Amino acid sequence: MIKQPHILLIYTGGTIGMVKDVETGALKAFDFNSLLVKIPELRLLDCTIETISFEEPIDSSNMNPIYWADIATIIGDNYLDFDGFVVLHGSDTMSYSASALSFMLENLSKPVIFTGSQLPIGDLRTDAKENLITSIQMASLQKEGVPIIREVGLYFEYKLYRGNRTTKLNAEHFEAFESLNYPHLAESGVHLNVNSEYLWKPNLNEKLIVRTAMDANIGVLKLFPGISRPICEAILTSKLIKGLILETYGSGNATTEPWFIALLQKAIKNGLYIVNVTQCVRGSVNMGQYETSSQLKTIGMISGKDITTEAAIAKMMYLLGEKVKPEEFKFYFETSLRGEMS
């Protein structure tokens, strides 16, 4: 007889963990120790659930690598005792956190599902209950005692996505997230339908390694028509930035102004890692396709291919934190490590 999956629920903060005080109307943090009392539907799930909460729940706008390390450490410390993990998190920075955890949890072979909500769990029309219940169900999916989902996912409004492929596109609708360059992993309808061919398939014999050394000394520069030389100089000559995500146009195109190309070339020569990521929400960087990107390829810029900006930031922090050798950095960034790029 196969035992019931054992799921750990990790509450970091966010709208999903708030309830409205009936008398005052004010929002306050939900007591997750009384989860089964407040949400009796969870008793119907074919799994056992335990909860861990941050001592002080945080708004996701305050999320940073220190908190990512806390989440990763909680998972690492409890990895052998649980079959899956559900992380409750504010939606605003959830794609960043899901991307970061995908890199920090090397050799992950169990589900880590991020979810949240647009409305508090105590609200009459809340999306929190469905997101929470189905995320736990997704984390509980097994075949012959082995988890079906073996990666960091993000579940929101009936769909499970690969976490490091997501972007938050809507602050108003329940369908807040999208994975525009990679199909969703599963969908919740009358049945839970899993798209098995798109799932990450790790080596089950490898031991989990938790890597928490994330280096946040990076920047993001979004190109726009008329971007000024002094601004670019200030960023590209800074001694404080070790890596830069450059958001370019279309398939990786940028202005061919001589001063701009010269600045990039000098920065790369001086050891700054610059990754070319498209501003488009769908599509890929293809340096050399047009004249406006061929120079970027020539001077040694790193191609972000179809990676999201959120995942590019997390991957840059991860590779810098792991102190990857300069001669190997471009290779590792342009290689899909956790399914973050095609």
Contact 253, 279 (CB under 8 A): no
Write down the pTM of the prediction.
Answer: 0.94
Cα(8)–Cα(50) distance, rounded to whole angstroms?
Answer: 5
pLDDT of residue 34: 66
SS3 at position 184: coil
| Cα 3 to Cα 336: distance, rounded to the nearest angstrom | 35
Nearest to 314 by CA among 138, 38, 64: 64
Owner of token pair 């929190």: 128
Task: Render pLDDT for 273-327 as a digit per residue (tens, 0 to 9).
Answer: 999 999 999 999 998 888 778 999 999 999 999 999 999 999 999 999 999 999 9
For tokens 């790369």, the residue is 268
Element (DSSP H or E) covering residue 67: helix 65-78
User: Which of 15, 126, 166, 248 is the catalytic position?
Assistant: 15
Q: Quote the CA–CA distance of 15 and 135 in Å, as a whole number.
A: 16
Distance CA 260, CA 254 (A): 9
Residues in Cβ contact with 83 at an 8 Å cutoff, skipping those fewer than 6 apart: 5, 6, 7, 47, 110, 139, 140, 142, 147
How far, in Å, CA of 234 to CA of 313, rounded? 20
Residue 125's pLDDT is: 83
Summarised one tens digit per residue, pLDDT across range 61-111 is: 999 999 999 999 999 999 999 999 999 999 999 999 999 999 999 999 999
CB-count burial class (<10 Å; 0-12, 13-18, 19+) for 216: middle
DSSP, res 289: S
Residue 169 pLDDT > 70: yes
- Is residue 287 a contact partner of residue 297, using CB atoms and an 8 Å limit? yes
Q: State the Cα–Cα distance between residues 70 and 51, nearest whole angstrom.
A: 15
What is the pLDDT confidence band of residue 42, given thresholds at 50, 70 and 90?
A: confident
- Compute the distance between CA of residue 205 and CA of residue 104 in angstroms, rounded to an integer: 18
The question of whether 15 is a catalytic residue gets the answer yes
Place of tokens 């920047």: 219
